[in-house]
């Protein structure tokens, strides 16, 4: 179905790159390289030039760390959202937050998408999305507390659990008044999962696609890639792209990424192999 992210619409054959922009001093990947607002804005400029359709701005790292209240989270992201909205009217702006108070402020500043990485921990988030006609990303976290690491979490069937929870969340968003075409589901690799869970979700992500809800995957440099290949954060690109190819073949629509160009080429190639996208040019054997 047509995907509507705030004021932007995309046809059902479009795949989208969601570039990560961290306004945090302690990101696991960039180590605070975009902590300063000007540096974060320059990151936005770069990924737009690289072809990202979405930027995902976050003010708190997912892992445990210093406690950040709603007021400080807003200080980190609201002005940046407004600045990006003013400069790039055609860009989809997503904000990675689970707090309704922060969500309300960023939507007022121009955000199109609320990327709730913590599976509905704040039940009022869906009401904020409905009020602002914003899109929402519904994730599966196994019920873990925000900013905690999973420990010995077990599932009878992790894919069935992810489908049940994300579809249930999507239905709650729909009941709250969020437009159906503005709801996305995400298995949330690593969140509330061990490496075996994330590998199984990758292998069976087609079952989530089959629900009919657009699927977002956030695979970039995740721990399940690092553990599978025994590689540190800075050396996980090849593994990330391998997982991306599997999800692309299954039909995932949105890819939350650090490396825009490499991921775009991977997804485009796989969608062309799958027959969903024509080659940019095809003259071999013709001319």
Closest CA to 109 of 80, 131, 68: 80
Q: Is residue 170 part of a domain?
A: yes
* Predicted local distance difference test score (pLDDT) of residue 1: 67
C-alpha 2/C-alpha 244 separation (Å) is 22
* Predicted local distance difference test score (pLDDT) of residue 62: 85
Q: Is residue 278 part of a domain?
A: no
Q: Is residue 24 part of a domain?
A: yes
Q: Is residue 285 part of a domain?
A: no
C-alpha 244/C-alpha 193 separation (Å) is 18
* Predicted local distance difference test score (pLDDT) of residue 57: 98
* Predicted local distance difference test score (pLDDT) of residue 227: 98
CATH number at residue 208: 3.20.20.20
Q: Is residue 69 part of a domain?
A: yes
* Predicted local distance difference test score (pLDDT) of residue 26: 82
Measure Cα distances from 42 to 37, 185, 219 in Å.
9, 29, 23
| Owning domain of residue 172 | 3-273
* Predicted local distance difference test score (pLDDT) of residue 169: 98
Distance, CA of 264 to chain centre: 15
* Predicted local distance difference test score (pLDDT) of residue 147: 86
What's the predicted TM-score (pTM) here? Answer: 0.96
Q: Is residue 282 part of a domain?
A: no
Q: Are 140 and 111 in contact (CB under 8 A)?
A: no
- Residues in the chain where the model's pLDDT stays below 50: none
Measure Cα distances from 198 to 201, 223, 277 in Å.
5, 9, 27
C-alpha 107/C-alpha 247 separation (Å) is 30
Q: Is residue 187 part of a domain?
A: yes
* Predicted local distance difference test score (pLDDT) of residue 2: 87
Task: Look at residue 114 and give its three-state secondary structure.
Answer: strand
Give the count of domains, the chain.
1
C-alpha 60/C-alpha 67 separation (Å) is 9
Q: Is residue 131 part of a domain?
A: yes
């Amino acid at each position: 179905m047509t995907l509507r992210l705030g004021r932007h619409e995309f046809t059902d054959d479009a795949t989208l790159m969601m570039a990560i922009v961290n306004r945090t001093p302690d990101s696991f990947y960039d180590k605070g390289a975009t902590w300063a607002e000007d540096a974060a804005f320059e990151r936005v400029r770069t990924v737009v030039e690289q072809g990202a359709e979405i930027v995902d701005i976050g003010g708190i790292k997912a892992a445990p760390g210093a406690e950040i209240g709603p007021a400080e989270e807003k200080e980190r992201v609201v002005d940046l959202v407004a600045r990006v909205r003013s400069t790039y009217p055609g860009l989809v702006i997503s904000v990675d937050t689970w707090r309704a108070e922060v969500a309300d402020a960023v939507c007022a500043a121009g955000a199109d998408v609320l990327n709730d990485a913590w599976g509905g921990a704040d039940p009022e988030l869906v009401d904020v999305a409905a009020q602002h006609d914003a899109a929402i990303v519904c994730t599966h976290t196994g019920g873990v507390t925000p900013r905690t690491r999973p420990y010995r979490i077990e599932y009878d069937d992790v894919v069935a659990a992810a489908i049940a929870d994300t579809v249930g969340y999507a239905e709650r968003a729909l009941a709250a008044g969020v437009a159906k075409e503005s709801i996305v589901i995400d298995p949330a690799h690593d969140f509330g999962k061990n490496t075996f869970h994330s590998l199984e979700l990758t292998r069976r992500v087609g079952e989530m696609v089959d629900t009919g809800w657009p699927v977002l995957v956030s695979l970039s440099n995740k721990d399940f890639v690092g553990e599978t290949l025994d590689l540190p954060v800075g050396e996980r690109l090849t593994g990330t792209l391998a997982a991306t190819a599997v999800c692309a073949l299954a039909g995932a629509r949105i890819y939350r990424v650090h490396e825009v160009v490499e991921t775009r080429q991977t997804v485009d190639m796989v969608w062309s192999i799958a027959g969903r996208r024509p080659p940019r040019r095809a003259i071999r054997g013709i001319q």
